[in-house]
Structure 1
Amino acid sequence: MAIYQVTDNEIKTISRTTFSQSGLKEREDLQRLLKHQIEVISPETLVVAEEFGEWDESRRRIDLLGIDKQANIVVIELKRTEDGGHMELQAVRYAAMVSTLTFDRLVDIYADYIKQNELGLDAQASILEFLGWDDKEEDEFAQEVKIVLASAEFSRELTTTVMWLNDYGLSIRCVRMHPYESEGKLLLDVQSVIPIPEVEDYQVKIREKRQKERASRSGGRDTSRYSISFNQELVYSQIRKSDIGYCTVQLLNEKDLINQRVFEFLRADNTCAFQLLKLESEVTETNKKYNKYRVSREPELIYDGQEYYVARNWGKESAQAFANKISARFPEITYSQHSD
């Protein structure tokens, strides 16, 4: 659709151009400008890295890496081409690669970006302020990786692929950037193509409905939560399955119930297919990659001068089995399950 300039005597067409014709380059110009005003294509986003590519056996780099107000990772890809190429598939690969980033790792990444751009900021304090957090909340961090694709145009093949991927739970936004020339000035028309702003809420609701229907047909993902009581007094309310081992160990420790026999009982437990308690030196790189133990935090149990971390690999059946096992050993501790 054309853009027009209205004067006293006429409605004048403003000529559309291309990025290549206007001399704008993908990295040197678009990326350089957008990283300082990322809200143009991705509102409520903090850019934390440029040309990010810190992974093994790959020379691929993310144009811009960010985080949004909900603490989701945001992968931003820019293209000057007229159809966007195959940027959606490239961005999905990038999203997979950064999906395991921890809060502490993101702080380190942002610190490097701050240094490179001479921003003079404290990385962790800036991220916490942006998120509105008093302290890091690892459980709420990076629950989703979102993708923003920005290009002069998108092919039908690309948009069809994006809509299909979004329907299956991904969050990909396509932003079209059309350059125009008028009286020696370069103008930029920025429009959201997917989702269409006027029906975005509707599209999100339809996508969520379809996802729930698919989950229902397949048995669904268990999102139940647990509460833990001690002598019928509620101690932990509505915790995630991933925290059932951690909260149980904390409760036992707080109630001074961990003696040598109990410690050996906990150390021997592998109900969730992982050893319940591990020293940091026992946590493998694979364990760390998939956050099976949160070694980036302070030690979760200190016993006999040794620092231990608690396994987080709980499913519905293993969580219930663990609850039964603990209640059998400690009748004063009871668990209740809550379904969504």
Structure 2
Amino acid sequence: MPIYEIAADKLLAVTETSFGAQGIYERKHIQRLLRDDIKVLDEHLMVIAEEFGEWLDSSRRIDLLCLDDDANLVVVELKRTEDGGHMELQALRYAAMISAMTFDQLVDTHARFRNPAQPDLEGAKGAILEFLGWDAAEEEQFGQDSRIILASADFSKELTTAVLWLIERGVDIRCVRLKPYRMNNGPVLIDIQQLIPLPETASYQTQIGVKKLAERKSQGERHELRYKFWQQMLDYAKQRTPLHAARKATREGWVSGGIGRNGFSLQYTVRREDTQVSLWISLGSGMREKNKAAFHQLLKQRAEIEGDFGAGLDWQELPESDGCLIRHVMPGGYKSPTDQWPEINERMTDAMIRLDKALRARVAALQV
């Protein structure tokens, strides 16, 4: 969207230009101007250092290292290009590298930025404390997060896609566009706009991001708990039966093993509050009728099968599915207290041994 000049009787579009065309350089002009007036990017920032690069075995430097009024460190990366280059990758490295900075290191860095020849630690510390509104340093409150601000003439689709992906995963990163315009025979103007996240949606997006992080964390914990359950379960079961002895622990909700015929599998399943053993019938793509035929041949022997198994079974033809299921559900799942897992393991293994005994010969004899 162009910028317009209001003339006497009409609107005149102000011509877009580029920093290069106007002889405006990244470090010499843009960085210096933003350093001296950082609030045009974010009114809650204080510049701590310029061209910061005080880490071992690296020649890389942060354009502007800042502090926000929540005591978080902020990496500001600048580009005058139309695509932003690979600045998001650089900034991620920098954010990781400063994440271990202490408050004393921050004060020392700022003191040398203010006066390289004669650093004044007390003066630098006082300026930081005043900005934060603190009476004294609070190490536990300092640097709990690292933020990133990318400022460029524009951004490529690849870069913005990466930034949106990072935001979804809880990284506080934003894109600010610095768009230069040239007045007719007049000064150069810069339109400074935060593009990602849009200011009016930033709070909402943050809430969504927190929710997604919580969901992702919950999913990760669930997968890890299931993995530990299967480790214990399979270690126990292989001492009792060879049926699933070659299977390894998984983060999924089931473990499958053979019954001596292709298309038929014996499965252990674990959910939050219950477990099951089952026979899954699935002869392959396009074999729906044969799957149903096999199921009904076994169903005709239901009384004998359940008698051999020693309990009732849940027979599911699953009309909406190609496959069919015969299962036995038991109480106790991976969310049960871990001290109950051995009992659950024993119950599942006993049921699987009985299910195999009740079905193996009958599956082998099926006419499908």
Aligned twin of 1:32: 32
C-alpha distance in 1 between matches for 2:71 and 2:26 = 27
CA–CA distance in 1 between the matches of 2:172 and 2:218?
Answer: 21
- SS of residue matched to 2:194: strand
* Match runs of 1:102-117 below 5 Å: 102-116=102-116
Higher Cα radius of gyration = 2
Structure 1 residues 159, 118: CA separation in 2 closer, same or farther (over 3 Å shift)?
farther
Report matched runs for 1:193-232 at 5 Å. 193-219=195-221
- The residue number in structure 2 matching 1:62 is 62
Change (3 A) 1:113 1:164: same
- Secondary structure of the corresponding residue to residue 112 of structure 2: helix
Q: CA contact under 8 A between 2:103 and 2:142: conserved in structure 1? A: yes
Q: Which has the higher contact order (CA 8 A, sep 6+)?
A: 1
User: Which residue in the other structure is 1:145 paired with?
Assistant: 146
Contact 1:42 1:148 in 2 (8 A): no
How many residues are aligned here? 220
Alignment partner for residue 188 of structure 2, among 186, 189, 203?
A: 186
- Could you tell me how far 1:8 is from its partner in structure 2? 2.0
Match of 1:158 in 2: 159
Equivalent position of 2:45 in the other structure: 45
| Native 8 Å contact 1:46 1:67 kept in 2 | yes
> Structure 1 counterpart of 2:10, which letter?
E
Contact residue 112 and residue 118 of structure 2 kept, 8 A:
no
The 1:117/1:126 distance shift into structure 2, 3 A limit, reads farther
Distance 1:12 1:123 in 2: 47
How many Å separate the matches in 2 of 1:45 and 1:197? Answer: 16
Other structure's SS at 2:4 match: strand
Q: 1:150-194: CA deviations, max 9, x gaps?
A: 000000000000110111111101000000011320100000011
Cα distance change, pair 33–118 in 1 and its aligned pair in 2 (3 A): farther
Tell me the equivalent position of 2:247. none
CA distance in 2, matches of 1:76, 1:153: 15
Q: CA deviation at 1:43?
A: 2.1
The residue aligned with 2:175 is 174
> SS at the partner of 1:47?
strand
Secondary structure at the aligned position of 1:208 is classed as: helix
Amino acid of the residue matched to residue 160 of structure 1?
A: T
List structure 1 runs of 4+ shifted beyond 6 angstroms: 117-121
Partner Cα distance (1:117, 1:42) in 2: 29
CA RMSD of aligned residues (A): 1.7
Letter in 1 for 2:47: V
Q: Counterpart in 2 of 1:78? A: 78
Matched-pair contact (CA < 8 Å) for 2:107–2:125: yes
Percent identity, please.
51
| Equivalent-residue separation in structure 1 for 2:25 and 2:119 (angstroms) | 24
Q: 1:118 to 1:43 in 2, by over 3 A?
A: farther
Listed one character per residue, the Cα deviations across residues 187-234 of structure 1 (whole Å, up to 9, x for unaligned) are: 0000001111121121111111111111122229xxxxxxxxxxxxxx
Q: Distance in 2 between matches of 1:210 and 1:117?
A: 48
C-alpha distance in 1 between matches for 2:74 and 2:108:
16
Whether 1:92 aligns to 2:104 is no
Unaligned runs of 5+ in 1: 221-340
Q: Pairwise mapping of residues 267-306 of structure 1 onto structure 2 (< 5 A)?
A: none
Structure 1 residue 119: deviation in Å? 10
- Whether contact under 8 Å (2:112, 2:119) holds in the other structure is no
63-72 vs 210-219, greater mean Cα deviation: 210-219
* CA–CA separation in structure 1 for the residues paired with 2:117 and 2:81: 27
What pairs with 1:243-262 in structure 2 (closer than 5 Å)?
none
CA separation of 1:126 and 1:177: change in aligned 2, threshold 3 A? same
Residue of structure 1 in register with 2:126 after alignment:
125
Equivalent position amino acid for 1:219 in 2:
E
Q: TM-score, normalised by structure 2?
A: 0.58
Counterpart position of 2:336: none
One-letter amino acid of the counterpart of residue 200, structure 1 = A
CA distance in 2, matches of 1:43, 1:88: 22
- Alpha carbons 1:195, 1:203 under 8 Å: kept: yes
